[in-house]
Structure 1
């Protein structure tokens, strides 16, 4: 059985000369690709959510380093590392919560430090960015297999935000598990939260599933409790932007509430993310920075104000789900059941 049949989308591409991103702000009505030639352009694309999802942000940032190196070598080949510093800082400042961004930049920096002076670094950095991209896709497929193995056949699943090919190098994390499980005949249907205020569920996840011919129904976040009470789903399957050393997981706002609902209704809760998302320096979820975004995202819809004049808004982009509400964390290195500090350390090969 071909578990990769339901996998047709690549949102991050290297054309051979520049970076090409599918503008996710225009989906589902338009498929528009942006061609980027500089690191500052790449940082703006990350900040403004042309590309989003922690793994995709990391892959994009790695290609951003390549663009920076190419320009730095052209401007000042004798001091190309120094010439890249402002670009690297700009990339690092683009989104604060997604730890994959910082992992990718640190990884590329370490390679930069090893490269010889007097030689154009662009080719070697490009090879490494392409390796990061390839490894992300292969890791996602591995997670898809591991996560699908936890699912008993017969019931639908619920997902939140977008964790598919649009949010990664390809195939997806939580949506990769769903793709794999659907291909194996384990799940008949997918329910997707709209995911307000950016509507990643309705604009992106539903679009991906429709493209790959996987049956999907949208619901408002407020309908999730009723869906669970009716016994129609067996798992909530979500991604993560950062996972702390004890297994607390930061994901798109609304995930925490789903975990509470799932525990009450006897529905299991799965977090799917690569090990590059795990931050062993963050002892628990309280150490994870939570991005606060502009109030206009809540007060407006498609650029038009829908809230009463004079009303304010609170707009955290993420929340933290405590480890005790998570039944399994699925990574490319294995599955952590009932995550805690000891089990996370075993996965990461660290000492408790």
Structure 2
């Protein structure tokens, strides 16, 4: 079950946006989410008391972004355990809520394994639930730390590729504090450039059809005092042709073993434009987004979203709504092609930046070595 409540208090910096948090009121533990579907008009929180409510929040994009989905998945398992629900049933439902985002299944798996191991050791449901929650909290902290290191590595790479500063960065979708336990992935790099006085302009794709760039990235950029400009997705070509883009920075929902990158649909056309115009195309994502079990881009399952997201636009309160709750902009019965993601092949990616450093050129061997190094660091 999910309840809604309005947030109170003064606006805070993006690093303080509570995109997700665990609370333990007297009536029992809950997972609290900032409802991203309501931004930027209003800051409303969803209070999830069970895994089914969290699954719905994931599918509706109230909570989204690869790293944050991993954190949410782990907390969802902990919530099911703490409230006495079937943990395996909850874990399976959560892991399948959005198939392209590899971090979601990873977070679920980490919390479920912690729960199983502790229950096998102690036979106590309470201690097993506590173990699942501890695993979720560790993942949350790890992601925040990874965000800091990705920003550092990304800023250093920009300095190497674009000496002299004054960067004009184009980004797609939302990759900031709203998708992370910290300040984000690609957006965190742009934010680091801004703080260093090296960001001249952040170009923000609106990101059709759900406008995560217009609603969320612009929201975070404004709160950070960044110089930013919003553009329609199909204006990007004109921007490149005018020589106004120095680098493209995007996130990722899954990176295959060969370096193919699945990200919000519209990313692949930017990679093609960047290659033609000799502009670096940089992917910023934690190592957990690299899925060595997915051999190549063709093996990535691409989520297909409902057609009404394309044939309707989100309505203000009181407007006449269509089948999906929006204002129809296409004739009744129009079919829509609405993949949530597209896949960019590795040869179009200049570099992949992770918390363990950058990979360039992007090859299967380099990614495998990066993941092996990451495991060694984690173990030690």
Shorter-normalised TM range: over 0.9
* 8 Å contact kept, 1:259–1:269: yes
* 8 Å contact kept, 1:144–1:173: yes
Which of 320, 326, 334 is equivalent to 2:349?
326
- SS of match in other structure, 2:15: coil
Residue number in structure 2 paired with 1:61? 73
TM-score, length of structure 1 as denominator length = 0.93
How many pairs does the alignment contain? 337
5 Å-filtered alignment, 1:1-352, equals 7-16=15-24, 17-72=29-84, 83-115=86-118, 116-120=122-126, 121-151=128-158, 152=162, 153-302=165-314, 303-349=326-372
Comparing 115-124 with 18-27, greater Cα deviation is found at: 115-124
* 8 Å contact kept, 1:11–1:170: no
* 8 Å contact kept, 2:88–2:112: no
* Distance apart, 1:119 and its partner CA: 4.6
Unpaired runs of 5+ in structure 1? 76-82
Give RMSD over aligned pairs: 1.4
Comparing 99-108 with 318-327, greater Cα deviation is found at: 99-108
By relative contact order (CA 8 Å, sep 6+), the higher-ranking structure is: 1
* 8 Å contact kept, 1:6–1:183: no
* Distance apart, 1:333 and its partner CA: 1.2
Task: Note closer, same or farther for the CA distance 1:176–1:271 as it changes in structure 2 (3 Å cut).
Answer: same
Comparing 285-294 with 36-45, greater Cα deviation is found at: 36-45
* 8 Å contact kept, 2:67–2:179: yes
Unpaired runs of 5+ in structure 2? 1-12, 315-325, 374-380
* Distance apart, 1:8 and its partner CA: 3.5
Comparing 118-127 with 325-334, greater Cα deviation is found at: 118-127
* Distance apart, 1:162 and its partner CA: 0.4
* 8 Å contact kept, 2:268–2:343: yes
TM-score, length of structure 2 as denominator length = 0.86
